Amino acid sequence: MDCNILILGAGGLGCEILKNLVMCQVSAITIVDMDTIELTNLNRQFLFEDCDIGAPKATTAVNYIQRHHPHARTKLTALVTDLTTLSAEFYKGFDFIISGLDAIAPRRFVNEMVVQNALQSNYESLVPFIDSGTEGLKGHVKTIIPGFTACWECSIETLPKGEETVPMCTIANNPRNLKHVIEYVISVEYPPGTLPAGASDEQIAAHYRDVVDACERRAKQYNIPTDTLTPSYVMGVVKRIIPSVSTMNAVIAAQACNEAVRIYHDLFAVGDAETPGSNNFCILNGSDGCFAYAFAHERRPDCPVCSVLS
């Protein structure tokens, strides 16, 4: 494919997306990620090895491809930076933006960026933004063509209500609060199985005291307050962990790349649910059988981001 693609995120989805696009012989790819590699990434972020722990994800991913596929036709660029610091001009320079991010705020930033670029350039800059995401055995792909399809913000109501779940790579690299600290400690330092089945009440109490001590040490390292840290608080956090599933990352990343292929070959149509090829929103649920559903998400007339576009 003769096109220039920006990949946002070099984590579980980003590694898959990068591999897929290199195999599609895309002519140029830039991958941006500000994070570094942690031990907990290695089960699914297959472009990284033990010796890469501590190194930036974006450059390590690019180096891996260049080392193992020296004859690949793709020109690769890695950026180790916060994507929200990149300029409007930067985002205009691509034919597609494919996101494998785990947080909501940067997705909203990029969505607004591509919509504003379309508006300010009178549609001369019209960069499709393909957003992918996974949570355990569930995943989605949203394709946004500014001014033509629903934008990311139009479907914000579909986000699960309540507390935002946090993937492992975030809690390992950039813990921002006590919950991130606890999730790291109980996944890495005291993983399931540390406490033997049939443990006595004393053993359970001692185990949670050890976990609390370990959390205290890690929280200090990142200047996170520990006022609410107790064994029962730790147990509350344990119950809402959602593991990252590498097979779901692979399926969703493939679907996101398919969308780029589909648009590249003019197989994407804009229209309502009756228009063939107009489906721009796909969800997959592998936790309840093999359930997939795709539909044309309608634009919200009062969308705070894209209603400025006619």
Q: How far apart are CA 99 and CA 281, in angstroms?
A: 14
Q: How many residues make up the chain in this entry?
A: 310
Q: Least distance (Å) from Zn ion to the CB of residue 88?
A: 18
Pick between residue 106 and residue 286 the one whose CB is nearest to Zn ion. 106
Q: Least distance (Å) from Zn ion to the CB of residue 155?
A: 8
Q: How far apart are CA 160 and CA 285, in angstroms?
A: 14
Pick between residue 151 and residue 172 the one whose CB is nearest to Zn ion. 151
Q: Least distance (Å) from Zn ion to the CB of residue 25?
A: 33
Contacts 24+ apart (CB under 8 A), 105-112: 106/8, 107/131, 107/152, 108/152, 108/153, 109/83, 109/84, 110/8, 110/83, 110/152, 111/144, 111/151, 111/152, 111/153, 111/305, 112/153, 112/305
Q: Least distance (Å) from Zn ion to the CB of residue 6?
A: 20
Interface of this chain with Zn ion, residues 138 to 167, rule: CB under 5 A: 151, 153-154
Interface of this chain with Zn ion, residues 96 to 135, rule: CB under 5 A: none
State yes or no: residue 95 binds Zn ion (CB under 5 A).
no
Phi, psi values for residue 215, rounded to 5°: -65, -40
Pick between residue 82 and residue 298 the one whose CB is nearest to Zn ion. 298
Pick between residue 36 and residue 149 the one whose CB is nearest to Zn ion. 149
Per-state percent for the chain, helix, strand, coil, to nearest 5: 40, 15, 45
State yes or no: residue 303 binds Zn ion (CB under 5 A).
yes
The count of chain residues that interact with Zn ion, using the rule CB under 5 A, is: 6
Task: State the catalytic residues.
Answer: 169
Give me the residues that bind Zn ion (CB under 5 A), please: 151, 153-154, 303, 305-306
